[in-house]
Amino acid sequence: MTEFWESSFQDKNAMWGFEPTDAALATLKLFQEHQLEKILIPGFGYGRNAKPFADAGFQVTGVEISETAIRLARQHYGNSITIHHGPVSAMPFDDETYDGVFCYALIYLLDEEERAKLIDDCYRQLRPGGYMVFVAVSKNDAMYGSGREVSKDRFETRHGVQLFFYDAAAVETEFGRYGLIEYKEIDEPVMQTGNKPSLKFWYITCRK
């Protein structure tokens, strides 16, 4: 996994551009409504989803596996954001507690044991009353069933990346004991751009 993302960021740099996702903007609004200030972003990448939070004055900490992605982030943020280098499987990287956690398009890249650990680690670092939001690919997305089936609802792409596709039952099973308060399917981006279709994701909200 480390080699894949490192080579991807080396080859494509800011491969998704610098505009934040619609899900990040929705989460910013949620976190502002509940007056959160200090947030953790596992799977930080080069920081496109951190920008709206940083611009709004949040104290942001990231976790990122790729040194190249961190270097790209530093070009835009300097040292204003703490970024821990390493896989999310090595969490926690600090003893901090956070008001909010935002984890976008990461958890479905992990196997069952790794997903459980990530959710648990994030919840442990969440202060009482804090919120965490996960965005995970849905079984209703057109990609479902493509590639080699590794296990139930998990498929390997032609690039060798394994994706786990969530349905409502899987969301409830994995997040149910972590303060799950809402989950809904979303299109990401909300408006289709060009010839590239929107993806189907679950937007999962938990409160401790």
Nearest-angstrom CA–CA distance, 192 and 198: 5
SS3 11: helix
Which domain covers residue 71, as residue numbers?
Answer: 1-207
Percent of the chain with pLDDT over 70: 88
Strand partners, 42: 63
Percent of the chain with pLDDT over 90: 73
pLDDT (0 to 100) of residue 117: 98
Nearest-angstrom CA–CA distance, 19 and 17: 6
Nearest-angstrom CA–CA distance, 12 and 16: 9
What CA dihedral angle connects 127, 131, 137 and 139, to 10 degrees?
A: 110
Mean pLDDT of 107-115: 96
Length, in residues, of the chain: 208
SS3 16: coil
pLDDT at residue 17 above 70? no
Mean pLDDT of 106-134: 97
What secondary structure letter does DSSP report for 21?
P
- Poorest-pLDDT segment among 16-25, 38-47, 133-142, 172-181: 16-25
Residue 1: give its domain's CATH number.
3.40.50.150
pLDDT, tens digit (0-9, with 9 covering 90-100), for 158-188: 888 899 999 999 999 999 999 999 999 999 8
- Poorest-pLDDT segment among 7-16, 118-127, 138-147: 7-16
Nearest-angstrom CA–CA distance, 186 and 22: 10
Tally the domains of the chain.
1
The model's confidence at residue 68, banded by pLDDT at 50, 70 and 90, is confident
HSE, CB side, 13 Å, CA atoms: give it for residue 177: 5
CA-atom Rg of the chain in angstroms: 16
pLDDT at residue 121 above 80? yes
pLDDT (0 to 100) of residue 192: 59
Token pair of 75, please? 């070009």
All residues at 6 or more sequence positions from 20 whose CB lies less than 8 Å from its CB, including other chains: 48, 49, 51, 52
pLDDT at residue 5 above 50? no
pLDDT (0 to 100) of residue 22: 94
